[in-house]
Amino acid sequence: MFNLLLMFSLLLPTVLLRHAARAAELHGVMDQGFLNLSWETPDAKLEEAPKPAGPWQTVIATGSPYRLHPSASITNGGRFYRLKMPPLGKKWLTVAAVTMQSKTNTEANLQTFFSHMERAASNRVDLIVFPEVALQGCPGWREDDAKPSVQEMAYIHQTAETLPGQSTSNVVAKAKELNLFVVFGMTEKDAAGRLYNANVFLGPDGVIGKHRKTFFVGNDSLIWSSGSGYGVLDSPLGKIGLMICAEMALEYPGPALAGQGAELLVTSSA
């Protein structure tokens, strides 16, 4: 791993370091009062700090070039920039977390999925995560134990899908087109007609696995059947552990999944 540092002043910025074994350079050019930082190494990540010793933080930018007005940093005493590379043989994992208001219309929600997936792909995201029950929305849920209405339960039953099913097939096709991995929430139904609050993990080659919500809050138990525990899913991104909503606050699931070798824990919540 190596770093390239750059500090700009009122003059043109200057590249300070260059690594010979894994050549990469951070270039800076002033243009109409803006500083344009560019680099040609796709795996590099741009970081910023007030001092060479840090603290360093990733700049909210998806790649080269990065354009900023230098006046803000100059008034703060200057800023340092560096490119940070992943360890040899590894790559950075870029994750997008989506906040969306689902409608009581699965086709409309799928179109929202696709829009966010396209945006994520354009930003070189590897994994995009949608909320709990994002496919159908969460009508009928309450923070107390109030029973959902007949109409709400009818919608939940009518829109529940098998897994895999039509909607997951559509998302897989989009994931293949964009080379993305996706986690999203849905109401799943099994062969016996039981309903589950499920998280689906899929990628360009199909559904990788799922997790059914096991720890219930509010009136969950009046809508869905309980899952049967927690497991780690092997994937091209590594070993992934899935949780839903309040399960991330429990003492058991996280450590249990880590004990099973999970390298990344992904939680969807409504």
> Residue 77's pLDDT is what?
60
Do the beta carbons of residue 201 and residue 183 sit within 8 Å? yes
**What gap in Å lies between CA 157 and CA 24, rounded to an integer?**
55
pLDDT digits 0-9 by tens, 90-106 = 788 889 999 999 999 99
**Which residue spans of the chain are classified as CATH 3.60.110.10?**
95-268
**What gap in Å lies between CA 236 and CA 174, rounded to an integer?**
18
Environment class of residue 243 by beta-carbon count within 10 Å: exposed (0-12), middle (13-18) or buried (19+)?
buried
Q: Which amino acid is at 139?
A: P
**Which residue spans of the chain are classified as CATH 2.60.40?**
3-84
> Residue 76's pLDDT is what?
56
What superfamily does domain 95-268 belong to in CATH?
A: Carbon-nitrogen hydrolase (3.60.110.10)
**What gap in Å lies between CA 97 and CA 119, rounded to an integer?**
12
- Which residue carries 């309980």 as its tokens? 226
pTM: 0.79
Report residues of the chain scoring pLDDT below 70: 1-23, 60-63, 70-77
> Residue 17's pLDDT is what?
39
> Residue 18's pLDDT is what?
43
> Residue 51's pLDDT is what?
86
| C-alpha 49 chain-centroid distance | 25
Is domain 3-84 classified as CATH 2.60.40? yes
Do the beta carbons of residue 40 and residue 83 sit within 8 Å? no
